[in-house]
Structure 1
Amino acid sequence: MICIEYPTTTAWLEAVWYGGNTKRNTDESKKWKTKDIDISYHRYVTKVEGNMIEVDAPIFYALDVQYAQAYIYKISNSGTIRHNVGIENLHISFERSPENSTANVDQNCIYMSSLENSWVKGVSMSGFVHAGIKTTSTTRSTIEDCYAIDPSGLCTGGTYYNFENYHRSQLILLKNCYARNGRHHYISNGCASTSGIVVLNFRSELSLAQAEGHRLWSQGILFDNWAELGTIKSNTGKIGMYLRDNMGSGHGWGGTNSVFWNCDVQGGAIYLDKVPTGQNYAIGCTAKTIRRYRNNMSEYTNGYIEGQNRKGLQPASLYEAQRAARGISTGLMPETGREDIPHIIVETNRVRVKSQKDAWISIYTAHGSMVQMFKSSSDNWVESMPLNNDFYVVRVHEAGQKAYSRKVLIRTVGK
């Protein structure tokens, strides 16, 4: 286990315009400084040959010796890292009265810290102040089928982050997640020690600000098949990798060498900046506008844009294509030809179910209360009674088979 370190130097700061602020002649205190944002990667050595070292995962930025000398060192506190920790199938909700609505209580529903090869799956969360799920010092882990909605308390800077990757969050997959009514539904918020994040098949609704690379040079963030739901205010920014300038503590460049692939923000905007010494990409995305954030200054230019508002991008998923090229099943799409699991289709206001055998179908709220139960006959579709806007668990118990459960989101209007 090693750390690959690329220290902040004056030469590098000059190359990246001190975080982007020197071109704007802004507050000196907001400019990036040495040791502010050392780039680091958590890796395992897989091969040593002479003076060449091979590691288990790529890095996401060119460590150019003209700006700084990179080095590696062994990680000495490996015993503090916990492995194979899983949290599954919970609903977590914070309830508070108006007089108890300050931002310093009930910060996060789930906080993943000092973890590796761990996961959160099938968890729904509401009422948090800071984040639904927050990671720090966590690598090679997965957040899947999770719903973070309706935060509460004071909505201000540092709150209402539905999903957040904080310091030293690397090689993390967020898959099939949903966020509603937050400020930043997803942020890479760990500065230059956050990298290698895949946000896959994410659904976002009623966000107050962009999902984004948030501050100080995150690298290698992939938004793959992100979709905004519901009504979108025309040309409002929904996702972005761009210059955040003097926002917050002087966030500067939010992220570099990152990709938006086959994302759909409807009539909203994608903010995409070309960053010095790096690049950001939007490929096959649907948006009213894809542009640099500071669009009135010639020094700032757009990132790489291709195939805007053209349907049918191939491959449809960059992550899935890369996994398939390595001969690894992705699990993104249901396996074809399988008849041993029930079919569950989510429609507006209800669900439809078809099972291979006669079955009892139960529908529960996320709190575990049963709201409906009905029977289906083998190989015939049956539909539920109307349901409200909410999360539900659909449980199908076929005769002689282990019960099969799936969490679904029901919406009464829209797609």
Structure 2
Amino acid sequence: MKIYKWVSLFLVINLSVAFGQSWRSSLYPANWTPGFSDKEGRFLHDFSYAGYHSGLDEIPNRKNNVIDVTKSPYNADKSGQADATEAIQKALDMAGKQGGGVVLLPEGEYKISVPENKKYGIIIRYSNVVLRGEGASKSFLKCITTNLRSKIVLLVAPENNNWSKPEDNAVALAKDVDQPTQRIPLQDVNSFKIGDRICITSDVTDEFAAEHGCLNFWKALRGPTFYREIKDIDKKNNSILIDVPTRYYLKTRDMARVYKIRVTLSESGLENFAIGNVQNAEQGFNDNEYNAPGTGAYQVHSSQVIELRNVENCWVKSVSTYKPAENTLDIHVLSNCLSLNNSRFVTVESCNFQKSQYNGEGGNGYMYCLMSNDCLLKNCYAENGRHNYDFKLMVSNGNVIYGCQSKDPRLASDFHMHLSMANLFDSFVADGDYLDASFRPYGSGGAMHMYSTTQSVFWNTIGLQKHKSSNYLIDSRQFGNGYVIGTSGKSSAVLTTPVSGIKGKIEFNTAPEDFTEGISKGETLVPQSLYLDQLEKRKVRIKNQAAKK
């Protein structure tokens, strides 16, 4: 498999560190601690909180209450002849009602579908429920519904719970927060208790938009959003201590506030199977045909194979896409593959997603899309999407893409729109791809893409081959400060030269120039992984703090 090739590449690189002239980033000395910055105020966020249980626990191997979906009373057909959707759904719901369990898909092919009157085919709606196959080369889920416009094949989400909406009255911040912090000053703390899950957010006011050069272009957006847990309360000083630092400034001017959320789905996962779409047989898959009824593009537009939404501490592990036997085209999925939406602490590990039928405009052909807090993509692979890896929206922050590979997307893996903040590409291998964090004057009305990210980091990026439309491995022109530290490989050049000007009614300026170090010298960068090193440092801090107590 292709994945093993770049695992070998990492071994070669690590040997070169051992025997070559190693170097460290000036922003990451050996004694680095959170809050370190240079004289210009440039700094690296602490990305170590990404993933299942904030990176502190491995994904569990659940063994309790294993339900074989092919046995009575579920009797799912593993021959691929009869539709197994209802049987799988009943087994998942029963596991949830029993307090949790593993729904096992024994080796075989399971035909599934999405009803016309539903937005999804199969849903995990309870905590502690795992859908598990016997391996991505043995257990197959084949979705036969080809008119999937704006629908999801496999959804992990609680019912009647939306973290975007307050569960209680919001409490205003007492003063501005302008740096990453775990201490939040509030007008009043009496409505909160330790262990509460909360949302810390602010609005995209005209003043906020103007500070980002986006007045009149950011009217319909949600502002910076951080989902957190309260770890301590200081009633004397009206402040709360949260589990993960903030990632961007919060101003009382922008109605910065805190409200409670309910976490009603956690500890659930998808494991060890392959999933694919039967191809759409209609004609019409041009870029702008997604809004033309009767075309194939219209029928598959904005469809999703897997989505996790409003969940905490969940996972997707060793899941692949595949080409159903009846597909005459070499495609695995109709449009989008995986979306992490409005969630936190999700790990996606050792997954392989490929070959979307529609890579047109309007939000199609994304293999991995991150719109959540502090999630981790680890050792994953993507091929032949429109954008293989992607960040969107101000809720997308603190995420890490570590040890992943991308091959031959139509367009760049990118920070796509609306100022996602403080995300990390770490030890990423680009094979016919490039990474883009540039100004994007696209979209319409009050939701223009504009500045796509700020304070994000490219660390130890490896370019095997150039993308067909770029001479650069990385194009980083972020709002404020961005960071490119260590590149290597046949394609290792970066583009950071600020651009400014006027396009139509849009005036833009990406100065100051993003920070760069070690271009074409990534093989000898120490540490090779920022995420793993920061995680180890945090574990040591936790251990030392526990010893003091």
Normalization by structure 2: what TM-score? 0.52
Match of residue 131 from structure 1: 336
Q: Is the 8 A contact 1:291 1:303 kept in 2?
A: no
Aligned amino acid, residue 437 of structure 2: M
Aligned mate of 1:111, from 307, 313, 337 = 307
- Give RMSD over aligned pairs: 2.3
Q: Which has the higher contact order (CA 8 A, sep 6+)?
A: 2
Match of residue 193 from structure 1: 395
Q: Is the 8 A contact 1:243 1:294 kept in 2?
A: no
Q: Deviations over 1:105-133 (max 9, x none)?
A: 49222111221110000000142233211
Q: Is the 8 A contact 2:379 2:405 kept in 1?
A: yes
3-state SS of paired residue (2:458): strand
Q: Is the 8 A contact 1:272 1:303 kept in 2?
A: yes
Residue 309 and residue 44 in structure 1: after superposition, are their counterparts in 2 closer, same or farther (change >3 A)? same
> In structure 2, how many angstroms separate the alpha carbons of the residues matched to 1:213 and 1:47?
34
Residues 1:263 and 2:461 are matched in the alignment: yes
3-state SS of paired residue (1:111): strand
Match of residue 60 from structure 1: 247
Aligned mate of 1:92, from 275, 281, 286 = 275
> In structure 1, how many angstroms separate the alpha carbons of the residues matched to 2:500 and 2:225?
34
> In structure 2, how many angstroms separate the alpha carbons of the residues matched to 1:104 and 1:165?
24
Q: Deviations over 1:357-395 (max 9, x none)?
A: xxxxxxxxxxxxxxxxxxxxxxxxxxxxxxxxxxxxxxx
Q: Is the 8 A contact 1:292 1:300 kept in 2?
A: no
> In structure 2, how many angstroms separate the alpha carbons of the residues matched to 1:10 and 1:206?
40
Q: Is the 8 A contact 2:499 2:510 kept in 1?
A: yes
Match of residue 204 from structure 1: 406
Deviation at 1:316, TM superposition (A): 0.4
Match of residue 83 from structure 1: 266
Q: Is the 8 A contact 2:382 2:388 kept in 1?
A: yes
Residue 251 and residue 299 in structure 1: after superposition, are their counterparts in 2 closer, same or farther (change >3 A)? closer
Deviation at 1:225, TM superposition (A): 0.6
> In structure 2, how many angstroms separate the alpha carbons of the residues matched to 1:15 and 1:295?
18
> In structure 1, how many angstroms separate the alpha carbons of the residues matched to 2:309 and 2:510?
37
> In structure 2, how many angstroms separate the alpha carbons of the residues matched to 1:83 and 1:183?
31
Aligned mate of 2:493, from 289, 296, 301 = 289
Aligned mate of 1:174, from 377, 380, 397 = 377
Where do residues 274-285 of structure 1 align in structure 2 (5 Å cutoff)? 274-275=478-479, 278-285=480-487
Aligned amino acid, residue 42 of structure 1: Y
> In structure 2, how many angstroms separate the alpha carbons of the residues matched to 1:114 and 1:9?
25
Deviation at 1:8, TM superposition (A): 1.6
Q: Is the 8 A contact 1:114 1:136 kept in 2?
A: yes
Q: Is the 8 A contact 2:342 2:395 kept in 1?
A: no
Residues 1:254 and 2:452 are matched in the alignment: yes
Aligned mate of 1:72, from 244, 249, 258 = 258
Q: How many residues align?
A: 302
Unaligned runs of 5+ in 2: 1-196, 284-295, 323-331, 502-507, 541-549
Q: Is the 8 A contact 1:163 1:187 kept in 2?
A: yes
> In structure 1, how many angstroms separate the alpha carbons of the residues matched to 2:481 and 2:226?
19
3-state SS of paired residue (2:463): coil
> In structure 1, how many angstroms separate the alpha carbons of the residues matched to 2:509 and 2:451?
14
Aligned mate of 2:510, from 300, 325, 332 = 300
Deviation at 1:210, TM superposition (A): 1.2
Q: Is the 8 A contact 2:439 2:478 kept in 1?
A: no
Q: Is the 8 A contact 1:109 1:125 kept in 2?
A: no
Match of residue 428 from structure 2: 226
Match of residue 84 from structure 2: none
Deviation at 1:154, TM superposition (A): 5.6
Match of residue 240 from structure 1: 436
Q: Is the 8 A contact 1:83 1:115 kept in 2?
A: yes
Which range is displaced more, 117-126 or 98-107? Answer: 98-107
Aligned mate of 1:162, from 364, 367, 389 = 367
Aligned amino acid, residue 61 of structure 1: Y
Deviation at 1:69, TM superposition (A): 4.5
Aligned amino acid, residue 374 of structure 2: L
Unaligned runs of 5+ in 1: 20-27, 329-415
3-state SS of paired residue (2:448): coil
Which range is displaced more, 259-268 or 98-107? Answer: 98-107
Deviation at 1:153, TM superposition (A): 3.4
Match of residue 398 from structure 1: none
Aligned mate of 2:229, from 37, 44, 60 = 44
Deviation at 1:288, TM superposition (A): 4.4
Aligned amino acid, residue 210 of structure 1: A
Aligned amino acid, residue 238 of structure 2: N
Aligned amino acid, residue 510 of structure 2: Y
Higher helix share: 2
3-state SS of paired residue (1:123): strand
Q: Is the 8 A contact 1:5 1:38 kept in 2?
A: yes
Match of residue 409 from structure 1: none
Residue 323 and residue 51 in structure 1: after superposition, are their counterparts in 2 closer, same or farther (change >3 A)? same
Aligned amino acid, residue 256 of structure 2: A
Q: Is the 8 A contact 1:220 1:258 kept in 2?
A: yes
> In structure 2, how many angstroms separate the alpha carbons of the residues matched to 1:202 and 1:103?
31
Q: Is the 8 A contact 1:193 1:218 kept in 2?
A: yes
Where do residues 310-321 of structure 1 align in structure 2 (5 Å cutoff)? 310=521, 311-321=523-533
Provide the identity percentage. 26
> In structure 2, how many angstroms separate the alpha carbons of the residues matched to 1:283 and 1:47?
36
3-state SS of paired residue (2:209): helix
Residues 1:102 and 2:297 are matched in the alignment: yes
Aligned amino acid, residue 177 of structure 1: C
> In structure 1, how many angstroms separate the alpha carbons of the residues matched to 2:249 and 2:495?
25
3-state SS of paired residue (1:7): coil
Aligned mate of 2:535, from 323, 342, 348 = 323
> In structure 2, how many angstroms separate the alpha carbons of the residues matched to 1:293 and 1:68?
31
Aligned amino acid, residue 84 of structure 1: E
